[in-house]
Structure formats: structure tokens, C-alpha cells
Amino acid sequence: MTQAVAVREPAQDAAGRRFERIQQLVEEYGASRSALIPILQKAQEEYRYLPEEILTFIATALDLPPSTVFGVATFYAQFSLEPVGKYVIKVCDGTACHVRKNQALISSLRSRLGLKEGQKTTPDMRYTLEIVSCIGACALAPAVVINDRVYGQMTADKMKAVLDEIERVEAAAAGDGKEEQ
């Protein structure tokens, strides 16, 4: 029921490499306006969202006004300018899920993750909580999707078990990382 989790790398390498990747993309696609969308797509894969300073860097490299890059990044739904956690938890709020008391699930999730009103992502960038409209899994209501995997007939207890498992995997991975150093 758990997912494979990449072993954590030494922090500064990961950050440096990601940024290097952006420069590689610019070289690969060429510094032209038509390269903007593919570069943004790849940049989002690297960072899981589009940080402002990366957008400014892309604008610099492509010789475009930052406002244009911001405009494109906010136009397409595929791009996110907000940080997205490593685990994206989508709770379905379609009619079927709603009548099956997903609200209780949502509030228990919020308090477990310590998310304040209006906050979607935990400060450690591990979880993002999204409330989405019908995901087409009404038979399994209330349904929750975590990184593309669907969990049906969720209860607060089942949810707790899933999160505990994720935490266990993460803790183990962090431990490995330390030993390596």
C-alpha cells in the first residue's frame, strides 16, 4: 500500500542540480519565445511548482519580460505557482463523496497535517491537500487520491493508517540518507 520513495540525496546537490537542469533546458530548446511552454513544463517537473525566481531566471535567459512569463505560467492550469508537496492528497468533494461525509475526513486531515485556514501545503513541503470536484470514483465514495493512487471508502482511521505508513517510509529514507554521509 506504500509507494516507492526515492532515497534522499544530500540537499545541496539536489538544489544545485535542479537549477543546472533549467539552464540545460534553455540550451536544449534555444532562447526563443516558442521554447517558453516546454521549458516551463520541464521546470515544473523539476521543482514540482514554478518558483518566482526560477520564472525570472527563465525570463532572463529567454529575453522576455517577466510579466509575460508570469502571464503564461498563470494561464495554463497545468502550471502551479504555489509549492506542491511531495504527496498531493486530493479529497473528492463530488456529490457522492459529499453525502458520504467527506467533511469529517477533510477536517481530520487538516488537523493532522497542521494546515491553517487557506494553507494547502505543509511547510516541510511533504503534503499538499486539495479539495477537488468529482474524480469519477463515486462507487468508492468517499474517495481520496494520493499521487495518482486512489483510496476508496476512506474513513478517518484508514486515512491515519495511510499517513502513518508514509511517515514511516520517509523516516527510514531520511535515516538512510544520514548514514550515507
Partner 1 sequence: MTPTVIIDGTPVPVNGHRNLLELIRSSGVELPTFCYCSDLSVYGACRMCVVEVEGRGLQTACSTPPEDGMVVRTTTEATQRIRKMALELLLANHQGQCQTCDRNMRCRLQALADRLGVRRVRFEAPADRETQLDEGVALVRDPAKCILCGDCVRMCSEVQGIGVLDFAGRGSNVRVTPAFGRSIDEVECVYCGQCAAICPTGAITVRSAIDEVWKAIHDPARTVVVQIAPAVRAALAQHYGIAGGEHALGKTVTALRRIGFDRVFDTSFAADLTTVEEGAEFLRRRASGGPLPMFTSCCPAWVKYAEQFQPDLLGQLSTCRSPQQMFGALARKHLPADMGILPEDLYVVSVMPCSAKKFEAARPEFAQDGRPDVDAVLTTQELIRMIDQAGLKPAELPAGALDLPFGFKTGAGVLFGASGGVAEAVLRLLSGGRGRVEFREVRGLNGLKEAELEQDGRPVRVGVVSGFGNARALLEEIRAGLKSFDLVEVMACPGGCVGGAGQPWPADTGMRRERAEMLYDCDAVQPLHNAADNPFVSDCLERIGGSDRHAAHSLLHTGYRPRRRIDGQVIELDEKPPAARVPVSVCIGTNCYLRGSYDTLKRLMEAARREGLEEAFDFQATFCFENCKASPNVRVGEEIHGGVTPEEADEFFRSRLLPLADGRSCAAARE
- Minimum CB separation of residue 110 from partner 1 in Å reads 22
Q: Which is nearer to partner 1, 125 or 150 (CB)?
A: 125
DSSP secondary structure letter of residue 133: S
Q: Nearest 5 degrees, angle CA 45-CA 46-CA 51? A: 100
In this structure, the strands spanning 87-92 and 144-146 are: antiparallel
Binding footprint of partner 1 on the chain (CB under 8 A): 11-12, 14-16, 19-20, 23, 51-57, 59-61, 63-71, 74-75, 77
Q: Which is nearer to partner 1, 20 or 167 (CB)?
A: 20
Q: Which amino acid is at 7?
A: V
Q: Which is nearer to partner 1, 62 or 159 (CB)?
A: 62
Is the Cβ–Cβ distance between 116 and 169 less than 8 Å?
no
DSSP secondary structure letter of residue 140: G
- Minimum CB separation of residue 109 from partner 1 in Å reads 25
Q: Which three cell numbers stand for residue 44?
A: 515544473
- Minimum CB separation of residue 46 from partner 1 in Å reads 12
- Minimum CB separation of residue 38 from partner 1 in Å reads 19
Q: Which is nearer to partner 1, 12 or 111 (CB)?
A: 12
Number of Cβ within 10 Å of residue 109's Cβ equals 22
